[in-house]
Each structure stands twice: as C-alpha cells, then as structure tokens.
Amino acid sequence: MNASREIKKVAVVGYNRIPFARINTAYVHASNQVMLTEALNGLISRYHLQGRIIGEVAGGAVIKHTRDSALVRESVLRTKLDPKTPAVDLQQACATGVEAVIHIANKIALGEIECGIACGVDSTSDVPLVLHENLRKILLDAGRSKSITEKIKKIFQVRFRDLKPVSPENKEQRTGLSMGDHTEITAKTYGISRIEQDLFALESHQKMAAAYREGFFEDMLTPYLGLEKDNNLRADSTFEKLSSLAPAFDKQSGTLTAGNSTPLTDGSSSVLLASEDWAREMRLPVLAYITFAQTAAIEYTQEKENLLLAPVIAMNKMLEKAKMSLADFDYYEIHEAFAAQVLATLKIWESEELSQRFGYHALGKIDRQKLNVKGGSLAAAHPFAATGGRIVATLAKLLAQKGSGKGLISVCAAGGQGVTMILER
C-alpha cells in the first residue's frame, strides 16, 4: 500500500431507517432481508441514488437464518441501486452498525471508494428455529442407513420431546448468563440503584417523545407496515409506572426490569457516507465528519460485571489518540442497552479509583444535559445491528443543526466488546 496516499475526510451525508418495533408486534412476519431492503430503498429514494453504482454497501445482522448468508448483497440486489454495487456482511453483536460505518469510512479515507452505505438489521421475531439435537442425530443416522428397515428403526427412536424446536438463546457462551444477568452483576458491583435506573429510563422516553413532537425524526424514517414511529416509545411513561415493574432477571433482589432494559426488537437502519468531492457532486450537505473511532474488548468470564464495559477501554484509547478530553464534546450518544450499564460507565469515567481497575485515570464527568438528547435505546428499543446506524444518524443531524461542534459515540456489545467514535462539524 502506498504510504504517501492522501487520507480523505469522511462525511456523513444521509440516513434512513424504518421505525423500530418490539418483538412479535408490527414486523412479526418481516424478514431481515425485507426490512433491510426497505431501509435501503428509503435512503436511495431520499437522496436520488436510483440506478447508481455505490462504492460499497456494508452491514449485517446478529441473528441470521441460513438463507441470510449473503444478506446485504441480496438486499442490495432487491433495491433500486445499480446491481453492480458490491456488498459485504459483517457482524460484531450490538456494535455491528457502528463497525459497518467504520468499514465504509476507512475505504473512503483510503480512496478505495468515494461513497458507501453502512447498514444493519435484526429481527427477533423471525428467528431461526433449530431441531432438537437428538432428532438431528437420528435423522442423520437414518439418512446414512442402507436399508428401509434400518431407516424405520432409526425413525422410531424419535420421542415426542425431540420434536420441539429450539429457539436461539440470548446467553453468553462462556458464562451461560444472559446480558441482563451480567448487567445485574454490574449494577450490584458498581452500586447502581433501582431508582437511578428508572429515572434514567424515564428521561430516555421523555426526550424521544419530545423529539417526535418537534419533528426531529421526520426526515430520518420511512414508515413501514403501519408504523410511523418506534412502537416501544412510551410518551406517557411515569416514574410510578416504571417503579412498579418486577425485576426481570434476578427475581429476588434484582434492579433490572422490562422498563429500564431494552426489549427484543425488530428494525433496520442505514447511513450514507461519502468523500467531500462526491458530496459536492451530488449536492448533498456534509452533516458531520467521522474523525476517530476505536474498538476494544475486555475479560468478562472471571469479572462478570464487565461484560458491557469495554467502551471504558475504547474511550480512553480514542481520546488519547484524538488528544481530547471527555468534556470537549457538545453531544454524547451512549447506547442504552440497560440503564445500569450506562450509569456504571459514567460512574467509572468519573472515579479515579474505579478507572484504575481498568488501567486508566478518570476521564471526568459529562454534562448530563448533553447526553442522548433525543432519547436513546431504552425508548427507541434495540434491534441489535440496526442501533449503530440510528445513533450515528442522530448525532450527525444534531451537529448539522448546530452548525459546529463535536459529538461522541459509545456502544457496548456482547462478548465483552465495545466501540467508540467521534463526529465533528
């Protein structure tokens, strides 16, 4: 690779998503491919990309059927883009959307492409159901049998319980605990109270409800299957309603509930990225520039409280490279997988003692008035691979409306991973 190659600035110039829907509601019969195609076609129509060859479309889904092996490419072929547009699937759990943005941004920065689309989709309603392991083995053995008699003998080994399909489990392979189970440990370890969590969740709903009322999302969404807004949003939510909910994971002494945790969700999002030259040619305004990004991972099998705290490491590394401090930003977009996870992250950043556990000095406090100002995942909900696109789009629009400034993104992910990013205007 030519070491003297000019690094191009990478701009966010567009966005589109479909409203997010709670599991088994509006999109119960919508597949990953259908939802992703819908989000992409909405973007294509909004920015007049019909018939054009885009440098690349990158994205993915966390939960896939075998038919989704070439999900993004097949979705592109169903859009109004020129079919000569290449596509690639990638996946990093809840960080998939932001990783797709990084993938496209790096290609633009290196001059490999002039523009690209980062996208993500997930359906928790249309999940792959697999055969019971005993049934699978019997069917394989029957298939290998040489005579009809042998096949019949094998088939008669099937028991009624073997016929029940097995749904995917939302558990970490190395610990056997769900993300919520891990976050309960996080809340206890870092002293995050139920009241703090419920108040944080309430604010998320209130902020997003206000954003919808003011029309902030009008040019960001393509209505789909009767939905015009995220159906997890509870504009009438109150602290009393949230505080009345029973614990969802630790039934005896837990503080995480269905109200202060994100639900399983269906949805899709997309973000249009470009070089300055391409944006100028297309007469598209630069909303914001992507200037820094960092991924990180953390050990969480022994220290189970750390599953969703890898952004602590990523943030420290990124700010050091950017020569910025945590207080330098106008907006902060932190993915709200759980209220407890966000509050624990903030607490670690503020505490020298807690930060030292991760090998860093405290980053300091942020102005909470600048945090997730249009609501977050607790209100919008969280279709795993689609959340990153929603967050990048929201921050880019905020910076464009302000006309200047810096924005910071932090997204935690399963597997003890995390990603951070800086947008500037």
What pLDDT band is residue 128 in, cutting at 50, 70 and 90?
confident
Contacts (Cβ under 8 Å, ≥6 apart) of 317 = 294, 296
- Active-site pick, 65, 94, 205, 335: 94
Strand partners, 221: 17
Residue % of the chain over a pLDDT of 70: 97
Helix (H) or strand (E) holding 54: none
CB neighbours of residue 359 within 10 Å: 9
Over residues 234-264, the pLDDT tens digits come to: 999 999 999 999 999 999 999 999 999 999 9
**Residue keyed to tokens 């629009």:** 397
Query: How confident is the model at residue 129, as a pLDDT?
Result: 64
Distance separating alpha carbons of residues 206 and 210, to the nearest angstrom: 6
Fold of domain 10-127+266-281 = Peroxisomal Thiolase; Chain A, domain 1 (3.40.47)
With 0-12 CB in 10 A as exposed, 13-18 as middle and 19+ as buried, what is 253?
exposed
Active site residue 115: no
Query: How confident is the model at residue 315, as a pLDDT?
Result: 98
Distance separating alpha carbons of residues 92 and 97, to the nearest angstrom: 8
Does 10-127+266-281 match 179-215+235-263+294-416 in CATH topology? yes
Q: Where are the domains of the chain?
A: 10-127+266-281, 179-215+235-263+294-416
What letter does residue 343 receive in the DSSP assignment? H
- DSSP sequence for 186-198: HHHHHT--HHHHH
Q: Yes or no: say if 103 and 118 are a contact pair by the CB < 8 Å rule.
A: yes
Nearest to 416 by CA among 250, 174, 184, 249: 174
- DSSP sequence for 283-320: T----EEEEEEEEEE---SSSGGGTT-HHHHHHHHHHH
Contacts (Cβ under 8 Å, ≥6 apart) of 258 = 245, 248
Give the class (CATH, top level) of 179-215+235-263+294-416.
alpha beta
Active site residue 412: yes
Give the phi and the psi of residue 258 in degrees, each rounded to 5: -65, -20
Over residues 139-163, the pLDDT tens digits come to: 888 888 888 888 888 778 888 776 7
For residues 168 and 95, the model is more confident at 95
Active site residue 119: no
How many residues are listed for the chain in this entry?
425
- Active-site pick, 115, 119, 205, 412: 412
Q: Which amino acid would we find at residue 165?
A: P
- Active-site pick, 182, 205, 335, 382: 382
